[in-house]
Amino acid sequence: MNKPRLLIIGARGFLATYAVQSSADRFDVIRGDRSSSAQPGTVQLDVADSSNVDRAFRQVRPNYVLLLAAMSDIDRCEAAPELAFATNARGAEHVANACVRANARLLFTSTAAVFDGKKHGYGEEDEVSPLSVYGNSKAWAENAVRSLLPSAVLLRFALVLGFAGKIGTNAMLDSVMQKWKAGQPVFFPIRETRNPIDADSLSKIMIGMLANDRVSGLYHVGATDSISRFELGKRLAARAGVSSDLVRPLDAAVPGRAPRGEDHFLFTDKIRKVCNLGVQTSDQMIERCFS
Ligand SMILES: NC(=O)c1ccc[n+]([C@@H]2O[C@H](COP(=O)([O-])OP(=O)(O)OC[C@H]3O[C@@H](n4cnc5c(N)ncnc54)[C@H](OP(=O)(O)O)[C@@H]3O)[C@@H](O)[C@H]2O)c1
């Protein structure tokens, strides 16, 4: 029997590396990314260009779509707001429109940065209050996706841990480990707390939710506990066998760094009712990155 066709958009990024693996059993996976490639199982797709998105959808005719393409670097978004909006906001709108026409089921990836981080703990019903261009672009995209495609799943998370195995993606651990291996210290903000999730667990959750047609709407996902980025750095170093001397606290504003919320703890009670997250605590998530 033919498997349903899943189009993963943003296929050369960090999370896509895991999502492609997690979905291979259940789906016929087509990898969409903006650079052209004649490889089998791939399609050229630039989310910022609606006619390009429509052409790719006509070619692939997906049943399911996982939208991972984004300008995910918060500082780059702040420096180039128009490009960030074209990619993260309009890009998501173009994909949602194409899903409507193709009758395809969509999972859209969003972020805790839609909140200002001024209180501890955000539920799905909380009003958005973004501080950054990135957070604003994602909040706009959420609205567009929800109104165009009520059956879509929207998944927010605060910080993903894992290795993409290559430099140039949004995988924090690749660049951190590269510096540590070169004996360079890495600075971690002490005032920013997050409930992280590891990329492997997250990709399995995304694929499970996408495949379950009874699930729709907005969900938060992450560990049950929150952790400061500095504490996270210390635990990652300990797990990687790196000296704690190479973990340094960052407490001052850095010029050019986009505004970030201090406390991005996302409540995860809602998602835990519809799927088994497998892992629970930040320490378990860290362990999964290395095991
Ligand atoms: N990683 C996290 O901690 C985190 C936290 C919260 C939310 N998220 C969200 O999770 C999703 C996946 O993020 P990630 O960490 O995997 O980021 P990533 O490694 O930066 O991957 C994003 C991919 O999107 C592609 N892309 C950018 N502009 C595009 C365009 N116009 N058309 C098509 N593709 C385009 C990029 O391609 P190029 O390689 O060509 O630039 C890149 O491969 C994003 O929606 C992100 O906002 C991530």
What the block records as the tokens of 82 is 């128009």
Q: How large is the average pLDDT for residues 68-72? A: 98
- Write b or e for each residue in 166-179: b if 16 or more Cβ atoms lie within 10 A of its Cβ, otherwise e: eeebbbbbbebbee
Q: Strand runs (DSSP E) across 27-162, as ranges?
A: 28-33, 42-44, 64-67, 105-111, 153-157, 160-161
Residue position matching structure tokens 């789906």: 27
Q: Which of 40, 49, 51, 39 is nearest to 69 (CA)?
A: 49
Q: What is the pTM of this model?
A: 0.97
Measure the CA–CA gap between 147 and 141, rounded to whole angstroms: 10
Measure the CA–CA gap between 17 and 40, rounded to whole angstroms: 17
220-272 tens-digit pLDDT? 999 999 999 999 999 999 999 999 999 999 988 788 889 999 999 999 999 99
At residue 194, the pLDDT reads: 96
Q: Which of 187, 156, 186, 148 is nearest to 70 (CA)?
A: 156
Q: Which of 132, 264, 252, 247 is nearest to 188 (CA)?
A: 247
145 C-beta neighbours (distance < 10 Å), count: 25
At residue 266, the pLDDT reads: 97
Residue position matching structure tokens 């709407």: 217
| Cα 244 to ligand 1 centre (Å) | 30
Which atom of ligand 1 is nearest to 134's Cα?
A: 47
Which atom of ligand 1 is nearest to 109's Cα?
A: 45
| Cα 69 to ligand 1 centre (Å) | 4
Measure the CA–CA gap between 141 and 137, rounded to whole angstroms: 6
At residue 9, the pLDDT reads: 98
Which atom of ligand 1 is nearest to 47's Cα?
A: 32
Q: Are 173 and 233 in contact (CB under 8 A)?
A: no
| Cα 169 to ligand 1 centre (Å) | 8
For the chain, the straight-line distance linking the first and the last C-alpha, in angstroms and rounded, comes to: 34
150-161 tens-digit pLDDT? 999 999 999 999
Q: How large is the average pLDDT for residues 26-54? A: 93
At residue 254, the pLDDT reads: 82
Closest Cα to atom 6 of ligand 1: 111
Residue position matching structure tokens 């210290």: 185
Q: How large is the average pLDDT for residues 19-28? A: 96
Residue 37: band (very low, low, confident or very high) from pLDDT cuts 50, 70, 90: confident
Closest Cα to atom 47 of ligand 1: 72
The mean of the pLDDT values for the chain is 95
Is it true that domain 5-170+196-224+266-285 has CATH number 3.40.718.10?
no
Q: Are 241 and 53 in contact (CB under 8 A)?
A: no
At residue 221, the pLDDT reads: 97
| Cα 243 to ligand 1 centre (Å) | 31
% of residues, the chain, pLDDT over 90: 91
Greater pLDDT, 197 or 257: 197
The phi and psi torsions of 224 (rounded to 5 degrees) equal -80, -20
At residue 146, the pLDDT reads: 98
